[in-house]
Structure 1
Amino acid sequence: MKDIVSQVKDIAQKICEEFHLELFDVKYYNKSGRWFLEIIIDNPYDYISTKDCENVSRKLEFELDKINIIPNKYYLTVSSPGLNRPLRNVKDFERFTGKKAKIKTRENTYIGYIKNVVDNIITFETDGKFIEFKFEEIKKANLEIDI
């Protein structure tokens, strides 16, 4: 039998597709004796609006209540990946070309701008220098707020 997160992912994925959105992540956890189901959605063409979150939340709540797979009382939240969203794949780097980001490799941490992405090679500008990374060399990356 599938675990709760896997089942919720399947349901949330279908709901996101109905609204032309992408499912970014699902988390189910206990904090201070309370259970939380956190759904993170994304829009590959625009920003996530509060209406997007509301639509997914209402539909997901309805579907989860029908099948009753979560044994505990829980708090459901639906949100966007946020301003400092993780960059998890080459497609994310392509989408956010020109944006400020933080990249961590095994050796260093860099803050700068994503300049180009070609064949899994990310060109990054930091402190006036251009550095190229193979996607596989990046341990962690996220967008940074550009003030």
Structure 2
Amino acid sequence: MTEQAEKQIRALMAARAEAMTSRDAEALARQYAPGVLAFTLAPPLVHHGEDVEARKAWFASFDGPIEFEIRDLEVTVGGDIAYSHSLNRLSTTPKGMPRKFELWFRSTVCFREADGEWRITHVHDSTPFYMDGTMSAALDLKP
């Protein structure tokens, strides 16, 4: 049972990466359980639920392709709840900018199974920051 659940969650995460690169806000929203709580890289500090229109606007703020990679994915399953953690890469070109950026960040995702389907209940993405007095985000780090 746990092996099958892990396989389903890995497929969900692969579909998540595909939805990001194809700019499919609706596909991303379908992955979330009602009332999902997300701590993402973009403001505000807490997102309650998934806002499809806001996600579409975010996608529209980039020119060219969006590259999204999930690396070193680890999945832990316990009954009808599970979590994963990974290192993720986002690379794209903001509108009006001369070149693309690349950002590696940490991601922890929590899941709940209901009626045979795994859904995302919580997302926590973060970037480390330099604690050298500059308090700058450590955007130059790569695995």
TM-score (norm 1): 0.30
More strand by share: 2
TM-score (norm 2): 0.31
More helix by share: 1
Q: Which has the larger radius of gyration?
A: 1
Kindly indicate whether structure 1 or structure 2 has the higher relative contact order, using CA contacts under 8 Å at least 6 residues apart: 2
